[in-house]
Amino acid sequence: MSSRSMRLLAWCVLLALSSGLAGAEDVCDDGGPDAFFPTIEKVVYDPSSRAPLAFRHYNAEEEVCVKEDCRAMKDWLRFSVAFWHTIRGDGSDPFGSPTKSWPWEEGEMSAMARAKVRLRAIFEFLDKLGVEYWCFHDRDIAPEGQTLQETKANLDAIVEQAKELQEKHDKKLLWGTAQLFHHKRYINGAATSPDSRVYAYAAAMVAMAMDATKKLQGQNFVFWGGREGYQSLLNSDIKQELDQLGAFMSAAADYKEEIGFDGELLIEPKPQEPMKHQYDFDVATTANFLRMNNLEGKFKINVECNHATLSGHSCEHELRTASIQGLLGNVDINTGDPQTGWDTDQFLTDPVEATRLMLTILEQGGLGKGGLNFDAKLRRESVDVEDLFYAHISGMDAMARGLKQAAAIINDGR
C-alpha cells in the first residue's frame, strides 16, 4: 500500500469515528486532484489568448515597481477567495430558493462529512485559479453543534483538516472571522445584545474563531457586526450599546495578546443591512469609535467597496479616509449596482475604478498583512461551476490592470 493510500485510509477511519452519522461512502472518496472541477485546467497567463479561462493581465510573478519598491504582482495584490460566496453560495435570495447544484453538495452525508468535502473543493479551486489565500467565517467551514462544546469540537476538527490542506496545497489564510449575525440568538445583536448570555456566547465564539485563525496562521481577524445597530431608536439605548461594543472589542484585543496572535484585527464598516443603522456606519465613524474606546493601534479597517457605496461614499473615498489615518488594513474587493439599494456583492471588473483604488493602496506601500479578498458572488442565474472561474478571472485581470496603471501614474510623477 502506498504512503498516499495509507494516509487516505487513516483519514477515512478518523473521519468515520468523528462523524458518527456519516457512512463510509460519504467521506472516504478522495476524488483525486480533479474531483470538483474536472473540465478546468490550471488558469495561466496568456495575454494573446481569446480563451475565457486565461489571464490577459494578471501575471503572478511579473515584477511591478513603484518607485524603488519592486514586488511580484501577486505580492502587491494578495488575492483571496471567500469561502462563503464561492463554496457556500447557492443562489438563493429573499424571494427564491437555491439555484445552484455544486458537485461538493451532492449526496447524503452528515454535516461534518459535508464540511470536509467543501474544504477539499476550495483548495482544488485555489490550485486551479492560482490564488494563494482564502478567507472564512467559522460557520462557513464548520457546523454549529447542539452545545458550545460540540461547536468547538466541530471547528477544531475542521481546522485540523484545513491545516493539512494548506500545507499540501501551499496556501495561506488571509483572515478568519466569527459569524455573529445568522443565528436567532443574535436577534438583538451580539456584542450589543441586551441579554448578557448572548454577549458571553458571542465572546466565546470570537475566542474560538480567533484560536482557529491563529492555528491556521491567518494574517488577520475580521469583525463584521451585521446585527450591531438598531431598527428603531424608540427601544434602543445607543450609549449602552456602544459601551458594550467598546468593551467587547477591548476584550478581543486583550485576547489577541493573551494567545499570541500576531495578525491584524480588522473592523469592517457597513451602514445598514440587515439593521436599519449599523454602529460602524463608515470608515470615519469606525475611526471615531476606536478613538473613543482607546483602541487606536489595536485595530485597522477592512473596507468593502459595496459597503462604501451603500454609505453614500465611493470606495476610493473610504480607502483614502482609512489610509490617511493609518487604518487601511484590507479591502473586500467588490462593487454594487447604483440602481440597487442593497449589498449585491458583484465582482469589480472596471479597470478605471481598479486604478483609482490601487493608487491609494500603492501610495501607502501596500496592504501589509492584508490583501484583496473577493467578497463577491455569482448572480442567481449563473449556475455552472465554470462561472466561478470566469468571475474571479475577470476580477483578477481588472485589478492587475489597475495595479500596472496606478504604478505607472506614481512613477511618472505628474
Which residues, at least 6 apart from 261, have a Cβ–Cβ distance to it below 8 Å?
210, 213, 214, 221
| Other Cβ atoms within 10 Å of 405 Cβ, number | 17
Class of the CATH domain delimited by 34-412? alpha beta
- What's 233's DSSP letter? G
Q: Kindly state the cell numbers that stand for 15.
A: 473521519
CB 331 within 8 A of CB 302: yes
Q: What is the mean pLDDT of residues 353-371?
A: 99
Query: What pLDDT is recorded for position 28?
Result: 40
Catalytic site residues? 137
State the DSSP string of 16-59.
Answer: HHH-TT--HHHH-----TTSS-TTPPPPEE-TT---SSEESS--
Confidence check: pLDDT of 236 > 70: yes
Q: What is the mean pLDDT of residues 107-116?
A: 98
State the DSSP string of 109-176.
Answer: --HHHHHHHHHHHHHHHHHHHT--EEEEEHHHHS---SSHHHHHHHHHHHHHHHHHHHHHHT-EEEEE
Confidence check: pLDDT of 42 > 60: yes
CB 404 within 8 A of CB 58: no
Which residues, at least 6 apart from 21, have a Cβ–Cβ distance to it below 8 Å?
110
Strands 63-66 and 69-72: antiparallel
Q: What integer best gives the mean pLDDT of the chain?
A: 93
Phi, psi dihedrals of residue 268, rounded to the nearest 5°: -110, 105
Q: Express each pLDDT in 23-33 by its tens digit.
A: 333 444 445 66
Query: What pLDDT is recorded for position 33?
Result: 66
Q: Kindly state the cell numbers that stand for 240.
A: 449602552
- Please give the torsion angle defined by the CA atoms of residues 126, 181, 98 and 39, in that order, rounded to the nearest 10 degrees: 0
Of the candidates 392, 356, 362, 404, which has an alpha carbon nearest to the alpha carbon of residue 128? 392
Of the candidates 212, 350, 327, 217, which has an alpha carbon nearest to the alpha carbon of residue 280? 327
C-alpha triplet 133, 366, 298: angle, nearest 5°: 85
Which residues, at least 6 apart from 309, have a Cβ–Cβ distance to it below 8 Å?
315, 335, 336, 338
Which residues, at least 6 apart from 373, have a Cβ–Cβ distance to it below 8 Å?
79, 80, 81, 82, 133, 135, 174, 175, 330, 331, 332, 333
Rounded distance between C-alpha atoms, residue 280 and residue 282, angstroms: 6
Rounded distance between C-alpha atoms, residue 366 and residue 410, angstroms: 13
Q: What is the mean pLDDT of residues 70-99?
A: 98
Strands 220-223 and 328-332: unpaired
Q: Express each pLDDT in 320-341 by its tens digit.
A: 999 999 999 999 999 999 999 8
Phi, psi dihedrals of residue 69, rounded to the nearest 5°: -95, 105
Percent of the chain whose pLDDT exceeds 70: 92
Query: What pLDDT is recorded for position 414?
Result: 77
- Please give the torsion angle defined by the CA atoms of residues 142, 144, 145 and 150, in that order, rounded to the nearest 10 degrees: 60
Give the CA count within 13 Å in the CB-facing half-sphere of 107.
17
Query: What pLDDT is recorded for position 413?
Result: 85
Q: Hey, is 13 helix, strand or coil?
A: helix
Rounded distance between C-alpha atoms, residue 320 and residue 356, angstroms: 10
Of the candidates 355, 281, 283, 356, which has an alpha carbon nearest to the alpha carbon of residue 323? 283
CB 246 within 8 A of CB 289: yes
Confidence check: pLDDT of 342 > 70: yes
Query: What pLDDT is recorded for position 259?
Result: 99
Q: Which residues pair with residue 222 across a beta bridge?
A: 177, 266
- Please give the torsion angle defined by the CA atoms of residues 57, 378, 327 and 248, in that order, rounded to the nearest 10 degrees: -160
Query: What pLDDT is recorded for position 2?
Result: 33
Rounded distance between C-alpha atoms, residue 189 and residue 139, angstroms: 17
CB 203 within 8 A of CB 159: no
Distances (CA, A) of 172 to 167, 168, 244, 397: 8, 11, 33, 21
Q: What is the mean pLDDT of residues 95-123?
A: 97
Query: What pLDDT is recorded for position 4?
Result: 34
Confidence check: pLDDT of 34 > 80: no
